[in-house]
Chain A
Amino acid sequence: MNEWVIELRNVSKAYAAHPVLRNVNLQVRAGEFLTLLGPSGCGKTTILRLLAGFEPADGGEILIGGQDMRTLPPEQRQVNTVFQSYALFPHLTVFENVAFGPRLKRIRGEALRDQVMEALRMVKLEDLAGRRPGQLSGGQQQRVAMARAVVNRPRVLLLDEPLSALDYKLRKAMQLELKQLQRRLGITFIFVTHDQEEALSMSDRVAVMNAGRIEQFGTPRQIYEAPENLFVARFVGEINNLPGRVVVAAPPRYDIRLHDRVVNLKSSRVFGIGDRVNLLIRPEDVRIWREWEGSAEERAALFPAMVEEVIYKGSTVDLALRLDSGDALSTTQFFNEDDQALMNLDFREGERVFVDWVHDWETILPHEE
């Protein structure tokens, strides 16, 4: 028996000669919460449609539970979908919507009632069983769509941006509920979203997609802290990108020149002397010294900069800086409540500051445009 509940091997798909998936390989473990993350049009929804069976792949193999899906129509696959639009049947009550799948399996009477009500209890909708979808709020409709899918106990649940139509607060609450539900049911979730925060907070693993390819596949931590290329780095969270050049190569340590400074950094990648690189630093990893902080010797190793903009965000203060080298740098400073006297974040626009970052928390990638 295969350890993968879902396997995509070299799957490709094109619409009218326009490729949407190019040789995609993907393996999903049973019980995993996997997220396909990417900008719109990157092919993530197409993967769901191929898995559900609404469309055939042009090339490659799709296996669910080790079984080739090529000739199996959607109604015979052990997967269920939660649609972005929910696609609830408007003429049926909440109860009948949820009962749709079990009825097709010839479940009747008490057993049907029990199954449906259990699914509705799970999403806290048992009181609304008699309503029609049109009489429910967006969040409630979303829950009905969930209940209608999970009541069938599928091997895999496909979720196509299920939370995108909800407002911010409700989305947050539903993210948590969805995650808990997934743990409780032990069903494999394949979740599609373009919201990187959602992807990081909910998933066991994330596949970042772009232009029909999987750019990186790993845990949220790997994706965020060790992006494999510039696209992933930029798409997942905010990141600063400083151009540099390798001057001394002694793997795993490299001396990299950033304008008039040389910094010694570690990288698991192999670079040669003279290679152009991108130094990627998260805003929250940037440290700031103000003019009166630190000694002259300490400052010599820092990068001088000018505060261009101060954005107060409640729990953080974000600064847009301009390094003397001309590069822009954004930073996020957290308020430190234990240390109010020192952590005074009353930056002024036009103020001169000195910056560096927590070394080895950066990512060094080969240069790309």
Chain B
Amino acid sequence: MKVKEPFKFAAVGVIGFWLIAFTLLPNLLVVVASVLERGGDEFVALVFTPDNYRRLFDPLYLGVLLDSLWLAAATTLLCLLLGYPFAYLLTRMPARWRPLLLLLVIVPFWTSSLVRTYAMVILLQTNGWLNQLLLDLGWIAEPLELLYTEPAVIAGMLYALLPFMILPLYAVLEKLDRRLIEAARDLGAGRVTIFRRIILPLTLPGIVAGCLLTFLPGLGMFYVADLLGGARAMLVGNLIRDQFLSARDWPFGAAASVLLTVLMGLLLWAYYLSARRANQGALP
């Protein structure tokens, strides 16, 4: 034990230093900045003010926040509706195919999501591939306005985030004990009852994890809204970026950022509670 201790100390030390220097301190700086006043040359002036938070509840910004929540929620719901059956089918595939199919789910990660979003632009623009295809098939008479619409943003976010939904769902569905389903059938349960009373509650931790993994990034994915939504879609992520880079209002950007972090923290806390509840019942 004694021999291992220097190594243990070093390992914990490096991780601790890393977390403090690159996570805790920057976040503290953001929190501090969020209650300061906007400065001249230094970006912030060392004067305390709660104004930044008050401004966030201005209808203009509240609208941005609600828009973001709506877009992220819609994307998450679509991811769930697509991802759950997808993940379920994956677990029903022959065991030797599954690793390959899972790999195919992950392959898009090998390309930067920014590049993939640009690819979506090429697909969706007025003289893009999708419109061309529909025109050639004779299904439409003139090109559709696809790009720079809300559905385009949702489609882009869906494409970027779907794997984050599928993977945790796959993990819980894979673990699901088939014998429990047999037991439920044996006791007289039909398909709907089995899904509602057995499969759904037992895969709830995966559903919550998948929703968090799509909803939280969904709130901050400013580049998708930028590229596919144009100027019309202003999301919290865009707002924060604009405050820091264009408007140069660091305290207000920081306040928006803190709000987003708190929101995510609350969701993670909810996840922790649900996971703890689920684990309580698990067999040892």
Contact = CB atoms under 8 A, between A and B. Distances in A.
Contacts of B201: 91
Contacts of B6: none
A88 to B, nearest CB: 8
A90 B180 CA distance: 9
A303 interface: no
B186 A91 contact: no
Interface string A263-287: 0000000000000000000000000
Given A89-B184, A148-B187, 17 more contacts: A54-B182, A73-B185, A75-B185, A75-B189, A76-B188, A81-B183, A83-B179, A87-B182, A87-B183, A89-B183, A89-B198, A90-B202, A90-B283, A91-B278, A134-B283, A134-B284, A149-B187
Contacts of A76: 188
A133 interface: yes
Contacts of A85: 177, 179
Contacts of A80: 186-187
A149 B184 CA distance: 11
B115 to A, nearest CB: 42
Contacts of A104: 187-189, 193
Interface residues of B, number: 23
A100 B184 contact: yes
Interface in B182-229: 182-190, 193, 197-198, 201-202
A87 B281 contact: no
B280 interface: yes
A132 interface: yes
Nearest to B194: A75
A17 B193 CA distance: 34
Interface string A104-132: 11000000000000000000000000001
A87 B187 CA distance: 12
Contacts, number: 73
B186 A74 contact: yes
Main secondary structure of the interface of B (DSSP, over half): helix
A90 B281 contact: yes
Contacts of B184: 89, 100
Contacts of B188: 75-76, 101, 104-105, 152
B176 to A, nearest CB: 11
Contacts of B177: 85, 87
Contacts of B179: 83, 85, 87
B282 interface: yes
Nearest to A132: B281
A134 B277 CA distance: 12
A92 interface: yes
